[in-house]
Amino acid sequence: MRVGRIQNYRSWSPWMVPDPDTACVGLEYFCFRGDDLWTMSDDELVALATRELAELGLATPEKVRRGHVVRVPLAYPMYDAEYAERVEKIRDWLDPIEGLVQVGRNGLHRYNNSDHSMLSAMRAVDNLVAGTDHDIWAVNVESAYHEEETDADAQQPYKKVPTTALEAELKEMSEAA
């Protein structure tokens, strides 16, 4: 199989498919710009996807009504050996700019997933609204870089995420009510 990941958008929400009798499946092919997958024609890619759906037993070719190809350049941030130093350099340059707050995947130049991207935004809001001093750049670093950490939980960023100030405030309000 060349396909990297498959999802059925109707399982996300019925509103993602215009006709309830059909499904809309996304097949992701991970590649580099210029390689054989990237340069394959749209028709060839749809044919490949159709073939692989059948080989996986998910849908027979006659059930595939049509396909659409979207090529996403630079979709993934790339970590290499000097990555951390380069991000440090970017941070050193950006930090002194007053009033600039960075969040998310591209904002922090980090391989953040949706949850980390949202958490970085929540921390940023805390800093602005509640006056906290969260280090936004530390979101998603805890597990990846603190290899000397011996606490097993340190490898599980989701277990260790502290309550945000806004959450604490809401909890306090609900307890007081």
Ligand X SMILES: Cc1cc2nc3c(=O)[nH]c(=O)nc-3n(C[C@H](O)[C@H](O)[C@H](O)COP(=O)(O)OP(=O)(O)OC[C@H]3O[C@@H](n4cnc5c(N)ncnc54)[C@H](O)[C@@H]3O)c2cc1C
Note the residues at the interface with ligand X (CB under 6 A).
Answer: 75, 104-105, 107, 112-115, 117
DSSP for residue 172:
H
Smaller CB distance to ligand X: residue 142 or 169? 142
Nearest to 69 by CA among 37, 42, 29, 107: 42
Least CB distance to ligand X at residue 42 (A): 18
Q: Nearest to ligand X by Cβ — which residue?
A: 104
Least CB distance to ligand X at residue 17 (A): 19
Least CB distance to ligand X at residue 114 (A): 3
Smaller CB distance to ligand X: residue 119 or 165? 119
Dihedral (CA of 101, 105, 109, 112) sign: positive
Least CB distance to ligand X at residue 28 (A): 6
Q: Which two tokens stand for residue 60?
A: 């027979």
Amino acid at 111: Y
Least CB distance to ligand X at residue 33 (A): 14
Smaller CB distance to ligand X: residue 22 or 113? 113
Q: Which two tokens stand for residue 124?
A: 């940023």
Smaller CB distance to ligand X: residue 6 or 84? 6
**Residue 129 in contact with residue 166, Cβ under 8 Å?**
yes
Which helix (H) or strand (E) covers residue 104, if one does? helix 104-107
Smaller CB distance to ligand X: residue 6 or 17? 6
DSSP for residue 67:
-
